[in-house]
Amino acid sequence: MRPPTIKDVAARAGVGIGTVSRVINNSAQVSDDTRQRVLQAIQDLGFRPNTVARQLSQGVNAQNLGVVLSYISHYSFMERLRGVQLAIGQKDPPFELILYNIMSPRRYDDQIRAITRQATLAGLLIIALPVSLQQQKALRDSGIQFVAISDHCNDSYPCVGLDNVGAAELAVEHLVALGHRHIAYVGDMFKTEHYFATSQDRHKGFSHVLKRHELEYRPQWVRLGLHGRDEAYAMTRDLLNLDERPTAVFAMSDVQALGVISAVQDAGLRVPHDVSVIGFDDIELSAYTGLTTIRQHLEDSGRLGMETLLHLLRPDEYSAPHPLPAPKLIVRQTTAPLR
Amino acid sequence: MRPPTIKDVAARAGVGIGTVSRVINNSAQVSDDTRQRVLQAIQDLGFRPNTVARQLSQGVNAQNLGVVLSYISHYSFMERLRGVQLAIGQKDPPFELILYNIMSPRRYDDQIRAITRQATLAGLLIIALPVSLQQQKALRDSGIQFVAISDHCNDSYPCVGLDNVGAAELAVEHLVALGHRHIAYVGDMFKTEHYFATSQDRHKGFSHVLKRHELEYRPQWVRLGLHGRDEAYAMTRDLLNLDERPTAVFAMSDVQALGVISAVQDAGLRVPHDVSVIGFDDIELSAYTGLTTIRQHLEDSGRLGMETLLHLLRPDEYSAPHPLPAPKLIVRQTTAPLR
DNA sequence: CTGTTAGCGCGTTCAC
DNA sequence: GTGAACGCGCTAACAG
């Protein structure tokens, strides 16, 4: 049962297909009588014009831009997305934005394949997800320009670089500079699949600093779990129950840092008096809550990624964007010198 | 200069169009020699396969869903969007989501027109924007199912209802119940164009309650400005400089409420001891900051809107969604009885 | 006013 | 292996 076409409608209404076309585009003058008959036939058959065919015959080349990202529900991705929107702005005619929300690694490859096979995209922005050689080829073959925002850039494609390891070092160095020697890490479970390893990378920065200052690495001070405020809360509770507990916590994201803080407070301790807490991201929320954190310029990175893509697509209209500022330590009220 | 087609490529490579098609789909066995010639021609001409034509000939009906909203950068819209994503979920093959971000009222109508003329959408969700009769007709004519999330629903189209007036009354009644008689309103400027009037509506609820309790309405206690934390901060500063200042403030959004709170604190006053503050929305942020507010079920409303649309599109796969819970007063730590 | 015809660009048969 | 038709569903231009 394929969907009805104007041909079917024409047959049922006893008219030519041209007339049907006129009716659905309510252009030209069609006699009121035949118009009614056509409309009736459309009703009866449940006819819906096929937009793809319509586009082809009208010669419109869809100018859509895609964004592939995971975890769209995280604030950090939302803020990046905001930057993307800013970059697209309000050109006339505008590019439209198609969101591809990757929820499982297995689906990622399927999704890219689907995009290259059937999406009508001018360009694609891939956020914090790896781009394999095959995917690069597939994208190029289908004429889709792409840019990645990534921790693992290389020269084989345009890419806005992030540096999770280095930025994490910034955070932990801050704690060390405050005199802390007993520092814990709270983050996401390390992924074994082919996602980028944000938590691994930030944990790597954490380890580097410990090593650099010859501080002991204690596995029981590294807590990994699902992402989220409540999960971080639970992990921190366990952390505080240890015989020897840390005096500072580096949480791999601001949302998790807020969970850490709640747990510390609920344990009858004070932040930063008893325990210092530093987060990562600098989402908008963090300014409101006074959280010390690492600013990774979320909005700017999204904007920059999209600007890079636009520049690729239309060099005359969009100039090459400025590079991303380096991650920056933002000291607020949740870290203090070791007593 | 129209873009090159496979025909042009075929001519340049001295082959038939069938061969070109095989090459770009790297299917079938093409001799290595001719493949190279074709690839070269593609290079030379800068040929990009036309996805629309490709779709038509393959019979894929684009199954995209659109979301029209304004102010995508506001947290409240982001949380609605999260709900929308949840509803779409991960069906296989999935619907993709196209974002139409309306930044000026004038552009809204153009945008809808563009959507009806050239977008390949199965359905459209219109969030907090009015749908004129003409727009309804245009959408129906182009076979695009649509659902609105709106404060002004009527029977002419499927719609998830909001009630800003009633919900605002809830907020102000709470303040009155706490003994407050001098209540200020901080909100967005009233729009004169054809957007929905969120600020007007919430202000209307505010006025209703004052009238109901025979409280005086003082124009100088109604502050309207641009949306944002900092703008709300400035308005509140002015408010506190008045000879007679309010003892409670109803901010039309949580983000603005946070600005109000900062201003109160910076003026050397305490919240809620000296001034009670209530917001509106219950964005995630508000739980973290202890803000008393009105929960309008943002995420649920987005989810519900999209579920309604999906149910319309595929009644067999998606059941009719449950209705939206009523707005709810969430009392936290920023409101207290009048001293 | 209305039926017919020729494309839109590409995938997919077919024969060669 | 490869070229040349045919058709996807629709719009537009042309006759009537």
Out of A190-194, A268-272, A295-299, B41-45, pick the least confident.
A190-194
- Of A234-238, A301-305, B118-122, least confident by mean pLDDT is B118-122
- B31–A contact, CB cutoff 8 A: no
pLDDT band at B219 (very low <50, low <70, confident <90, very high): very high
The pLDDT, as a whole number, for residue B27 is 73
- Listed by range, residues with Cβ under 7 angstroms from strand D are A 2-3, 5-7, 17-18, 21, 24-25, 27, 47-50, 53-54, 56-58; B 14-19, 22, 28-31, 33-35, 56-57, 59
Query: Under DSSP, is residue B251 helix (H, G, I), strand (E, B) or coil?
Result: strand
Q: How many residues does chain B have?
A: 339
Residues of A in contact with B96 (CB under 8 A): 98-100, 119
Which nucleotide's C1' sits nearest to the alpha carbon of B8? C9
When the pLDDT of each residue in chain B is averaged and rounded to a whole number, the result is 91
Are B276 and B288 in contact by the 8 Å Cβ rule? The answer is no
Task: Read off the pLDDT of each residue in A191-196 and give the average, rounded to a whole number.
Answer: 68
In the predicted model, is pLDDT for residue B192 greater than 80? no
A194 has a pLDDT exceeding 60: no
Cis peptide before A93 (omega within 30 of 0): yes
**Nearest Cβ partner of B97 from A50, A73, A98?**
A98
pLDDT at site B131: 93
Contact A96/A286 with Cβ under 8 angstroms? no
Q: Which of B23, B26, B50, B55 to mutate to test binding with chain A, by most A CBs within 10 Å of its CB? A: B55
- Closest protein residue to C9 using CA and C1' atoms? B53
Average pLDDT over residues A273-294: 94
Give the pair of three-digit tokens for residue A53. 């065919």
Inter-chain CB proximity A52 and B60 less than 8 Å: yes
Q: What's at B242, amino acid-wise?
A: L
Q: What is the pLDDT of residues A210-227, one digit of tens each?
A: 999 999 999 999 999 999
In this prediction, residue A138 has a pLDDT band, given cuts at 50, 70 and 90, of confident
Q: For a pLDDT cut of 70, what percent of chain B falls above it?
A: 97
Q: What mean pLDDT do residues A276-282 have?
A: 98
Instruction: Find the nucleotide nearest B5 (Cα to C1′).
Output: C9
Stretch A111-129: mean pLDDT, rounded?
85
- Strand D footprint nucleotides (protein C-beta < 7 Å): 1-5, 7-14
A48 has pLDDT over 70:
yes
- Which residues of B are less than 8 Å from A54 in CB distance? 118
Residue B81 vs residues A41, B19, B75, B98, B306: alpha-carbon distances, Å? 38, 45, 10, 11, 10
Determine, for residues B289 and A288 on separate chains, whether the beta-carbon distance falls below 8 Å: yes
A170: closest CA of chain B, how far (Å): 26
Q: Report pLDDT for A56.
A: 86
Side-chain-side CA neighbours of residue A237 (13 Å): 11
Residue B120 has pLDDT above 90, yes or no: no
Mean pLDDT of all residues in B254-268: 96
**Averaged pLDDT for residues A284-303:** 94
pLDDT at A167 over 90: yes
DSSP string over A130-191: ---HHHHHHHHHTT-EEEEEESS--TTS-EEE--HHHHHHHHHHHHHHTT---EEEEEEPPP
Sheet hosting strand B222-225, strand order edge to edge: B222-225, B183-188, B248-251, B276-278
Amino acid B40 CA to nucleotide D10 C1' distance, rounded Å: 33
- CA distances A226 to A233, A291, B214, B318, Å, are 11, 21, 52, 29
A53-57, A190-194, B270-274: the lowest-pLDDT one? A190-194
Is pLDDT at B193 greater than 70 in this prediction?
no
Residues 184-223 of A with CB under 8 A from B: none
Closest nucleotide relative to residue A37's CA, C1' based: C2
pTM (two decimals): 0.87
> Is A326's Cβ below 8 Å from some Cβ in B?
no
For the stretch B48-88, pLDDT in tens is: 888 888 888 888 776 789 999 987 778 898 899 999 999 99
How confident is residue A120, by pLDDT bands cut at 50, 70 and 90? confident
Q: Is the pLDDT of residue A313 over 80?
A: yes
Q: What share of chain A is helix, strand, coil (3-state, %, to 5)?
A: 45, 15, 40
Q: Containing H/E element for A11?
A: helix A6-13
The C1' atom of D9 and the CA atom of A41 lie apart, in whole Å, by: 17
